[in-house]
Every structure is written in C-alpha cells, then in structure tokens.
Amino acid sequence: MSYCVHCGVELDDWEKKCPLCQTPVIDPWQDKNGNPPPSLLSEQPERTVNKRLLVLLIGLLLLIPLITVVIVNLATTHTLTWALYVLGSEICVWTVFVLPIDRSGKLPYPYIAIDSVVVALLLFMIWLVNDEVDWFLPLALPIVLLSGVVVSLLFLIWRSRGTLKIRKTGWSVCLIACFVLALDLTITHYMRSAFGLTWSWYAAFPLLVIGVVLLAVSFSKRACDWLRKNLFL
Amino acid sequence: MRRSRARSGNDTPAVDWLRLDNAAKIYPPARSRYWSPMFRLSAELSEDVDREILKTALVHTLARLPSFSCRLRKGFFWYYLERLEGAPDVLPDVNNPMSYFNVKENKNFLFRVRCSGSKLAVEFFHVVTDGSGGTTFLLTLIGEYVRLRYGVTVPRDKHVLSCDDPPKAEEYEDSFLKYARKETVSRGERAAYQPHGAPMAPFDVSYICGAVPTEPLHRAAKEHDASITEFVTALLIQIVARQQAAERSRAKRKKPVKVSVPVNLRRFYPTKTLRNFSSYVNPGIETRLGEHSFDEILVQVKSFLKSQITEKQLNARFSENVATERIHVLRATPLFIKDPLLKMFYNMQGDRYVSMTFSNLGAVKAPEELQRYVKQLDFTLGPAKKKRCLCTCASFAGMTRFAFTRTFEGADVEREFFSALVKLGIPVKIESNRR
C-alpha cells in the first residue's frame, strides 16, 4: 500500500508516480513484484477524408474565379463572351478531375462517359461562340468519342482479374496503336476530305510490333520466366 | 409512435421506431464524425466475465428493454430511432473509452458493451438514455448474467428488471412531453469561466477515479449541514475559483464560476421511463465580487439548489425546451437546414454557461443477491466537445467513487479536490488510466 507524500492519497502498489501531482512514489517496503493489471490499448478511429465534402468544397472554390470573370465580362462588354470559356473550362476541370474523388469503388465507365460529354459540350460551345468554319462535327466530336472509347477499353483491360500484367500491357500498346491510326484517319479526312494514313505509321508500326511481341511472350511461360530472371528491377 | 406486436406474440407493444425525446433532440446535430455525448457505467464483478454468457444475457436484456435496441436514422424533419434486431458485439475494454463514437460502427447500436477481466462496462450515446436508465440497463444485464452464470435468481427491483417480463410501453415514453406545462423560464445565463490547459493528443483522455468510503464523506457534508451533492459542488466551485484568481486575463477573472448539476426528474413525477428524463441547474458564484470562503460558497450553493430543485422550477425549465420543440416553424423546417443550425447553436451556446459538470448518480442500491457478485460500480462521463473538466460520482456498497474526465493537460482540479478530502480526514484511493 503506497501513499503520495504530496497529496496524501492512496495509490495502487505498482504506481511509480502519483497520477495527480506526478510526485515519484518512494516506498522501500513497496511490493516490487506486485503485477499491475494488463495495460489496455487506446483505440483510435480510422480517420478518413470526407470525400463528398471535399468535392463540394473544391466546387465552391472554383465558383470564386468564375463569378469574378462573369462580373468583369458583363461590366466591360455588357454580354457574356470570354467568360464562357472560363465557365466551360471550370466545369470540365471539376467533372474530369474533382468529381471522381468521390468515386469510392464505383465503376469508372459512367465517369468517362460524363467526361466525354462535358468535353464535347465545351468544344461545341467554343465552336458556337467563334462561329468559324465547321470543325466540330467532322473533327472534334469524333476525336472526343474515340478518346472516351479508348480510355474505357484501357480501364476494361487493366481492371480484368487473373490476366498477366505483360499481357495487359501488350493489349494496351496495341490499343494505343489503333487509336493513333484512327486519329490520323479522322484528321486526314477533315483536312483532305479523303480517307488515308500519313504520319501515324511512324508511331503505330513500332507500337504494334511491341504490343504483338509482348502478347506473344505473355502466352509463353518460358519466355515470361526468362524476362523475369533477366529484367527484374 | 408506431407499434407492432412483440415477437413473443403477447399483447405487449414493441417499438418499430421512436421519436427522439426532448433532451435527445440536440445530441445528433451536436455530434461530429468522431465525437458524441456519452457516458459509461461499469461494474467490477467478483470473477472474470464469461463473454459467451454475457452475449446471451445481452440478447435477453435487449428483448426486455427494446428502446435500447435501436439505431439513429434521419427523417425529413427530425432524427428518429429505428428498431434493430440482434445485439451488438461485446468489445474489449480500452484505455481511452468514449474518446470517440461513430453511430455507424458496432452494428449501428447506440451503446457499446465492453469487458476485460472482471470488469463489465456499457457506454451509452446520450440519445438513448440518461444515467438512471443506463443504471437500469446495466443492473438488468448483470442480473441476467448472474442468473445464467450462477443460476441465482435476482429479485426484481427498481433497477433490476426481470428479462422474463415483457417490455412495457411506459418505459419508453417521452416524459418531457407528458409533464411539460405552458409556463416557462428563460435559459439565459452569463458565460462562465472554464479551467483550461494544453490540449491532449487527439482521442487521448484522462480518467482519474478516487474511491472514498461513503460514511466519512456523508459525515463531513453533514457537519456543514449539507448533502454530498451540495458539499462537493461547493468544493469544486472553490477549486475552480482559485484557478480563476490566478488568471492573467481580466476578462476571464470577471466571469462567474458555475458547476452544472444534472437533476433526475423521476424524483418529481410518477414515470417509469428509461429514456432521458433529467434536467440540470447551474449553481455558482460571482467571483468578481471578491474572494469567497468555502462556507460562503456552500451557503450560496445550498440556497440555489434548494430554490431551483423544486418541481415547479424544473418543470418551467424543461417546459421551455419543450416549447421550443413545439414551435411550428422549427418543426416544419427540413432537417438538412435544421441540422447545421442546431449544431451551430450547440457549438456557440452548449458549454459556455458552466465551468464544469458534477453529475451525482447517487446511491445505487441493488438486491443483496446481486451485490454479492458486484464489487464496485463506476459512473463516468465521456469527454465534452469543448475541452472541459467533468466530474461524476456514484455510491455503491459503502464506497463513493468520483471520476474526473479531462482532455487537457494538468490534473490541478483533481489534485486539489482529492487533497481537500484527505485534509478532511477522508481516505482516498486513486486509480487512473495515465501510466
């Protein structure tokens, strides 16, 4: 039985100092072998970021420059002109980069579809405001849709389970090669009103070769082992 | 209140959902992701707790007390409690209980059962019940545990209910609404001085418990012609006033020192509710008027408590809260608007009026058959939202245990309090979670 010489309170036998005043317990007759009860763990909650709130907050922050440019634009030209670019760009930035923060395990494909639509709408707005030559329908829209499809396919490849990484890489490289070819076709058709391939060969051919080699290797266990042995980091 | 037939098929209603009682309405908006207003009742049994038997006892207890078996849900206008099936897990005890509470954990139950060695504890989110209802839950749980473990039938008591009986509707009524009258008194008060210090690390909390024999404590209070509550409240006010006098800030020195004393309203009304039914009064002193001796403080505390703890005063006090709840505009305001407004109101006003809280559960009496298996009983408040010092006390089997909860560094209040008891010739045994 120990007492604090400062407070006068009785303490547990194993206490080395008084919990009230931190005075050390000096008791020559103290039972040094007395076992204190097992220490209990302190619990800590898993602290997580409130993603929905974060998305909302970033959205509110983006509103500040938007409102500023709208007021300035209206004050100077009495109509909305260049502020529309800021409006469209901010919606694009929020949709493409901020909205997926609150994805929390959901599938990415609806987000890719929304992103494609928003980017297409931004380009449509720019085309409407400028009232220039017809570039939206034959050029911008196909490229945006093509990009959306390719990104979706890349996600599909990399989310598939049980497939070797080398095979996923092979399919991805082949897909990028096809994208480059399709891009060239679209641009050439817009520029010359005829289908044909020009610059894309230089990029697509090596990519296709690399992709096919990776796919071939991925189907051979021996080749895979050889690569693993010789190229590990 | 919607009711359905109990599963047993008898005529006793079991709740499907419940409106929050008047006192509980502020707690869901006030809580944050990691903090909720909580209190803990724990008992040390004569032998190590058998977890499997405890789980069975818990299932039986929840069938008897269905108002505890619920989750918190959001309606369009108010929060409500929805009936839950099953029972929560029995969790291991921790060193910093009640430092956080997330209503979505623990199978959505609004209380946690913990056990470690021979210690059994229940931590309640204040939405479900108050100290008196919590005591009934704990003692009923222990009574059922003792029956299953030792085959001893504990006789029915005010706090020990028989799990063989069906639930009773009067046990989950909102007594605030039932007994509120039209006459009210204002809650307006001056902001009080609050002891403070460097904040502890997040989720760290200091619990210091002092066990004193009830008899000499009672005698010391009687020498001053006071009850234990009056005596201890006056002592706490004196200690906080001494700390305030050492403050450099003139503004802080001018604030009153007040201690919040919860009052069990069941003393005044013939209610059997196990939900919240308590109010509070805030006795204190105006330290700007000069230094107060202990006797002067005690006279003020006694006269204040005597004048305020009357049925009429307390009724007018909680009727004010009920009247607020009944304002049509407030009722018709959607919860998504009301929720942040109530949170803001609580953050600005909730803790400002008192320096600390002293909650006296009183003498807990249990049948002798049960007392044989229960060595001690503790009552502890969870940390307050604002960094504040809280004190509780409960008497059981001839011992009174004071528990201090604090989330800032420096045990000055506890040290001075227990030293004062020692100087009065009352032996104090200290236990703490600080090692």
Q: What is the pLDDT of residues A161-212, one digit of tens each?
A: 888 888 999 999 999 999 999 999 999 998 888 888 889 989 999 999 999 9
At B58-77, the pLDDT tens digits run 999 999 999 999 999 999 99
| Chain B residue numbers touching A44 (CB-CB < 8 A) | 203
- B295 at the A interface (CB within 8 A)? no
> Could you state, in order of their start, the residue ranges of all structural domains in chain B?
12-175, 206-307+343-432
Asked if pLDDT for residue B49 goes beyond 60, the answer is: yes
Q: What span, in angstroms and rounded, lies between the C-alpha atoms of A118 and A124?
A: 10
* H/E segment holding residue B403: strand B399-406
- Lowest average pLDDT, out of A142-146, B112-116, B275-279, B348-352, goes to B348-352
Partner residue facing B422 (CB), from A7, A37, A45:
A7
The string over B62-85, giving b where at least 16 C-beta atoms fall within 10 Å of a residue's C-beta and e elsewhere, is bbbbbbbbbbbeeeeebbbbebbe
Q: What span, in angstroms and rounded, lies between the C-alpha atoms of B163 and B184?
A: 39
Q: From the CA atom positions of chain A, what is the Rg in Å?
A: 33
**Distance between A52 CA and the closest CA of chain B, angstroms:** 14
pLDDT confidence tier of residue B310, bands split at 50, 70 and 90: very high
Which pLDDT does position A79 carry in this prediction?
Answer: 86
Which pLDDT does position B3 carry in this prediction?
Answer: 44
Q: What span, in angstroms and rounded, lies between the C-alpha atoms of A189 and A196?
A: 7
At A29-42, the pLDDT tens digits run 766 556 667 777 77
Strand partners, A12: none
Which pLDDT does position B14 carry in this prediction?
Answer: 59
Give backbone dihedrals phi and psi of B207, rounded to 5 degrees, phi first: -115, 120
Complex confidence, ipTM: 0.82
Topology agreement, domain B12-175 and domain B206-307+343-432: yes
- B169 at the A interface (CB within 8 A)? no
**Distance between B249 CA and the closest CA of chain A, angstroms:** 25
Tokens in use for B24? 């509980």
Nearest CA in chain B to A18: B430
Q: From the CA atom positions of chain B, what is the Rg in Å?
A: 21
The conformation of residue B225, written as its DSSP 8-state character, comes to T
Burial class (CB in 10 A: 0-12, 13-18, 19+), B340: exposed
Which pLDDT does position B305 carry in this prediction?
Answer: 96
Q: Which of A13, A15, A21, A43 to mutate to test the interface with B (most CBs of B within 10 A)?
A: A43
Q: What span, in angstroms and rounded, lies between the C-alpha atoms of B87 and B56?
A: 9
Fold of B12-175: Chloramphenicol Acetyltransferase (3.30.559)
Asked if pLDDT for residue A101 goes beyond 90, the answer is: no
Q: What is the mean pLDDT of chain B?
A: 90
Nearest CA in chain B to A7: B419
Q: Which residues 6+ apart lie within 8 Å of B181 measured at CB?
A: B315, B316, B319
Q: Provide the CATH number for the domain formed by B206-307+343-432 in this structure.
A: 3.30.559.30
Q: What span, in angstroms and rounded, lies between the C-alpha atoms of B414 and A113?
A: 62
* pLDDT, average across residues B350-356: 86
Partner residue facing A20 (CB), from B93, B411, B435:
B411
Contact yes or no for B430 and A20 at CB 8 A: yes
Partner residue facing B415 (CB), from A7, A37, A41:
A7
Percentage of residues of chain B with pLDDT beyond 70: 96
Scanning B68-208, the segments in alpha helix (DSSP H) are 131-150, 175-179
Order the strands of the B79-83 sheet from edge to edge.
B17-19, B79-83, B70-74
Contact yes or no for B433 and A40 at CB 8 A: yes
- A1 at the B interface (CB within 8 A)? no
pLDDT confidence tier of residue B13, bands split at 50, 70 and 90: low
Q: What span, in angstroms and rounded, lies between the C-alpha atoms of B115 and B106?
A: 15
* H/E segment holding residue B74: strand B70-74
Please give the C-alpha separations between residue A99 and each of A62, A160, A174, A220, in angstroms, as whole numbers: 13, 24, 30, 41
pLDDT confidence tier of residue B79, bands split at 50, 70 and 90: very high
Nearest CA in chain B to A2: B429
Q: What is the mean pLDDT of chain A?
A: 87
Q: Which residues 6+ apart lie within 8 Å of B166 measured at CB?
A: B6, B8, B10, B12, B64
At A5-57, the pLDDT tens digits run 999 999 988 888 899 999 998 877 766 556 667 777 777 777 677 888 888 89
Q: What span, in angstroms and rounded, lies between the C-alpha atoms of B396 and B42?
A: 12
Q: Which of B100, B207, B435 to mutate to test the interface with A (most CBs of A within 10 A)?
A: B435
